[in-house]
Structure 1
Amino acid sequence: MKISREVKTAILVLSGIALFIFLFTYLKGEDIFSSSNNYYTEFEYNGLSMSSPVTVKGNKIGKIEEIRYDFDSGKTIVEFSVTPQLKFSKNSKVSLYQTSLMGGNALAILDANDGQLAEPGDFIQSHVKEGIINALGDDFSGISKDLGVTLRSADTLVSSLNTLVVDESDDGLQNTIAELNSTLKSFKSVANSANNLISNNDKKIASMLENFDKTAAEIAILVNGLNDANLANTVKNLDEMVLKFNQLATGLEAGEGSIGKLLKDESLYNNLDNASKELQLLLLDIKLHPARYRRILSKREIPYEEPTQEELNNN
Structure 2
Amino acid sequence: MTISKETKVGILALSTFVILYLGFNFLKGKDFFSPENKYIVVYDNVEGLTAANQVSLSGMKVGQVKTVELIEGNKVKVTLSIRKDLPLPEGTQAILASDGLLGGKLVRLQMGKSSKLVENGGQLLPKSETGITDLLKEQALPLIHNLDSLTLSLRVVSKSFEATGTSVNSLVKNSDKTVTTLGASLNSTIAENKNNLAGITANMKSLSGSLIETEKSLKPLIGKFSSIADSLNALKVSKALATTQQSLEGLQRIMAGIEAGQGSAGKLLKDDSLYSNINRSLADLDKLLIDFRLAPKRYVNVSIFGKKTTPPPAVK
TM-score of the two chains, using structure 2 as the length reference: 0.44
> TM-score if structure 1 supplies the norm length?
0.44
